[in-house]
Chains A and B, each alone.
Chain A
């Protein structure tokens, strides 16, 4: 009984750690980011806006990028939590977005992807892009 309780506590602790970002792997996230490369790049705008400077940026605010009205009106500030929600289901989170994509449904993959985006934002490529 004690063993079962201990296992349950470990499982709960693991779930909490994942929820708070521990165990997120930016290297796995970089591989997942390759799915985004039809439309996005880190340092420059493409069909989608650049990702350098993403954390802390308000949605729809990259100068010169033609956002949808929905994104401009979304009142989102990008952080790990808002990115997680958006990436899980872009069309449901911001109805009218031009990101016509079903989303990354696996929570761990989203965590890894967000860890990569955060890490890449501090990279030399992004420092140069400022």
Chain B
């Protein structure tokens, strides 16, 4: 997903970027298709709306919380290698999601939410490695459902596609965490 917004740093893209900013939130399909690095979709992407920015910001808020949750999990001292390494890897994915979402929101003219100074987690219930993994799995499952529920309501289909890409990653996290606690990794043919 790092290519999602590569155009921002490209001198060739600067004139186009100025046009986007000038038009505020209602970007053309072509503009947002450029954001996701796929000009072939320019004719079909549709407009990004204020709703799209709100959806992205809600997703960003959840990603920032997930980063904090993995940090808390890692700092409990309950995770043993190689599970600890896995948790740190997953946290890194969430950091990448958050960075991409944040840049996209800003490029669309919105204001990305910042990480909260303090998050609340049920740390009193985290007594073992399994507790931490089950908690992480519940967040990942929720994230899959959240992206699944967001994808149909994006005005711009390229943003929906990008969200689907994140959904896929978080579904893999969920499956591996389920497997780590001895549950069937993929419990059904569909997610909801």
Q: What's the Cα separation between A85 and B48 when bound, in Å?
A: 26
Q: Are A96 and B54 in contact (CB under 8 A)?
A: yes
B62 on interface, CB distance cutoff 8 Å: yes
B138 on interface, CB distance cutoff 8 Å: yes
Q: B138 contacts which chain A residues (CB < 8 A)? A: 34, 37
Q: Are A100 and B145 in contact (CB under 8 A)?
A: no
Q: Are A35 and B153 in contact (CB under 8 A)?
A: no
Q: Are A35 and B145 in contact (CB under 8 A)?
A: yes
Give the Cβ gap from B116 to chain A, nearest Cβ, in Å: 9
Q: Are A38 and B146 in contact (CB under 8 A)?
A: yes
Within 8 Å by CB of B153, from A41, A44, A102, lies: A102
Q: CB within 8 Å of A: which of B48-82?
A: 51, 54-55, 57-59, 61-62, 65
Q: A38 contacts which chain B residues (CB < 8 A)? A: 62, 139, 142-146
Q: A119 contacts which chain B residues (CB < 8 A)? A: none
Q: What's the Cα separation between A103 and B192 when bound, in Å?
A: 11
A99 on interface, CB distance cutoff 8 Å: yes
B152 on interface, CB distance cutoff 8 Å: yes
**Given A100-B153, A102-B150, A102-B152, also A34-B55 (CB < 8 A):** no
Q: What total of chain B residues lie within 8 Å of the partner, measured CB to CB? A: 26
Q: Are B58 and A98 in contact (CB under 8 A)?
A: yes
Q: CB within 8 Å of B: which of A36-90?
A: 36-39, 41, 44-47, 68
Within 8 Å by CB of B141, from A34, A45, A46, A96, lies: A34
Q: What's the Cα separation between A101 and B62 when bound, in Å?
A: 13
Q: CB within 8 Å of B: which of A7-41?
A: 34-39, 41
A91 on interface, CB distance cutoff 8 Å: yes
B22 on interface, CB distance cutoff 8 Å: no
Q: What's the Cα separation between A100 and B149 when bound, in Å?
A: 8
Q: What's the Cα separation between A103 and B142 when bound, in Å?
A: 14
**Given A46-B120, A100-B51, also A39-B146 (CB < 8 A):** yes
In the complex, residue of chain B having the shortest beta-carbon distance to the beta carbon of A48? B58
Q: CB within 8 Å of B: which of A92-113?
A: 96-103
Q: What's the Cα separation between A103 and B58 when bound, in Å?
A: 15
Q: A100 contacts which chain B residues (CB < 8 A)? A: 51, 54-55, 58-59, 149-150, 153
Mask, B145-177, CB within 8 Å of A = 1, is: 110011111000000000000000000000000
Q: Are A47 and B139 in contact (CB under 8 A)?
A: no
Q: What's the Cα separation between A17 and B185 when bound, in Å?
A: 37
Within 8 Å by CB of A37, from B51, B61, B142, lies: B142
6 A-B pairs (CB sep. < 8 Å): A37-B138, A38-B62, A38-B142, A46-B119, A47-B58, A47-B62
Binding site for A on B (CB under 8 A): 51, 54-55, 57-59, 61-62, 65, 119-120, 122, 138-139, 141-146, 149-153, 192
Closest 3 A/B residue pairs (Cβ): A100-B55, A37-B142, A38-B142
Q: Given A100-B58, A102-B149, 11 more contacts at CB 8 Å?
A: A34-B138, A37-B145, A38-B146, A39-B58, A39-B61, A39-B142, A39-B146, A46-B65, A47-B58, A96-B54, A100-B150
